[in-house]
Chain A
Amino acid sequence: MDVKDIIKPENKVYSKTSVLTDNVMHYCPGCSHGTVHKLIAEVIDEMGIQDKTIGISPVGCSVFAYNYLDIDWQQAAHGRAPALATATARLFPDKYVFTYQGDGDLASIGTAEIMHACNRGENIVVIFINNAIYGMTGGQMAPTTLMGMKTATSPYGRCEELHGKPLKITELISQLEGTCYVTRQSVQSAAAARKTKRAIRKAFENCSQKKGTSFVEVVSACNSGWKLSPVKANEWMVENMFPNYPLGDLKDR
């Protein structure tokens, strides 16, 4: 069979969801942010909630997330997305409100906001992109940077005496009464991405059931910050990030 006989509308099994805009993403080649954006967009599409979803974009590389998902957005000051999401979800209880935050945004400058929003059990979804570095500003150390990992601000590697150990914020968040679903996923392979999509779907479904805060960490690669090729960065992530940040559900109730 000739390729041109396969490429026909009736044979189409995968194409870009219309919830993603046609804008070309500004992310570096192979960056996990793009994959996660796509999965969120597909969930919104499949649940038919495009006009009921409000995203809160962070400060960090994904500050421009609002250019890529065709939904309503607000953009928060650094780390304050959970505060904006709190207000938004309380004012519009019938909407699906989610924050999208990096590890610098969520686990460093925004620690207070995320902890208290999760403790209050705000009816929101949190998508947490943990790439163990500050991508946007040039690869500085983050609270989630691994032991021994070299970054712009830990040129000799992260060391316990100076920097403490990596902050396992997702484990902390799973202890909080307000969270109903806390999970850690990844997107380096098709199987992993499909699991992450199911986790995001569950999180949004929890939102309609008013179950409290659903928290989805995605262990991610920042290949530019890590100074590796996209494929090597994903391999490095599997080898080094996963032992520190094991995948799976931490809480589901």
Chain B
Amino acid sequence: MALRGAIVVDTEKCKGCSVCLVNCPTNTIALAKEVNSKGYNYAYMANPESCTGCSNCATVCPDTCITVYRVKV
């Protein structure tokens, strides 16, 4: 049984600090080339198929911008 996950980033709240990105064990997250209205390159799921829904990213996010979903497949 495998776990598949997905994250939803509040891109307007994200400040692009990258703390989530370095805490993701599966290299799922990257910073977008685009910026939000404050000029920050926000985090997004660059490799959606690798997310396991472990919630590490959301746990360390200082601005609590990440919601995590997980399913057993």
* Chain A interfacial positions (CB closer than 8 Å to B): 1, 3, 5-8, 11-16, 20, 24-25, 27-35, 38, 187-190, 193-194, 229-231, 234
CA distance A188 to B6 in the complex (A): 22
CA distance A13 to B5 in the complex (A): 9
Please determine whether A231 and B18 come into contact, CB atoms closer than 8 angstroms: yes
CA distance A20 to B66 in the complex (A): 14
* Chain B interfacial positions (CB closer than 8 Å to A): 4-6, 8, 13, 15-19, 21-23, 40, 45, 48, 53-64, 66-71, 73
Chain A hits for B48, CB < 8 A: 3
Q: 10 extra interchain contacts, Cβ-Cβ under 8 A, other than A29-B16, A31-B62, A189-B60?
A: A1-B71, A6-B5, A6-B53, A12-B69, A13-B69, A25-B62, A27-B62, A29-B15, A30-B62, A190-B57
B64 contact from A7, A12, A38, Cβ within 8 A? A38
Please determine whether A30 and B18 come into contact, CB atoms closer than 8 angstroms: yes
CA distance A188 to B20 in the complex (A): 10
A14 and B23 in contact, given A7-B8, A29-B17, A189-B60 (Cβ under 8 angstroms): no
Please determine whether A15 and B56 come into contact, CB atoms closer than 8 angstroms: no
Please determine whether A14 and B58 come into contact, CB atoms closer than 8 angstroms: yes
CA distance A14 to B57 in the complex (A): 10
B68 contact from A13, A35, A229, Cβ within 8 A? A13
**What distance in Å separates the Cβ of A40 from its nearest Cβ neighbour in chain B?**
12
A13 contact from B15, B17, B55, Cβ within 8 A? B55
CA distance A13 to B55 in the complex (A): 8
Contact sample, A vs B, 5 pairs, CB 8 Å cutoff? A15-B58, A32-B62, A38-B61, A193-B59, A231-B18
A34 and B64 in contact, given A8-B69, A11-B70, A29-B40 (Cβ under 8 angstroms): yes
A15 and B67 in contact, given A29-B16, A189-B60 (Cβ under 8 angstroms): yes
CA distance A97 to B34 in the complex (A): 43
CA distance A194 to B69 in the complex (A): 19
Which residue in chain B gives the minimum CB-CB distance to A36?
B62
Please determine whether A7 and B69 come into contact, CB atoms closer than 8 angstroms: yes
Please determine whether B67 and A190 come into contact, CB atoms closer than 8 angstroms: no
Please determine whether B23 and A189 come into contact, CB atoms closer than 8 angstroms: yes
CA distance A79 to B10 in the complex (A): 35
**What distance in Å separates the Cβ of A20 from its nearest Cβ neighbour in chain B?**
6
**What distance in Å separates the Cβ of B68 from its nearest Cβ neighbour in chain A?**
4
Please determine whether A190 and B13 come into contact, CB atoms closer than 8 angstroms: no
Which residue in chain B gives the minimum CB-CB distance to A30?
B17
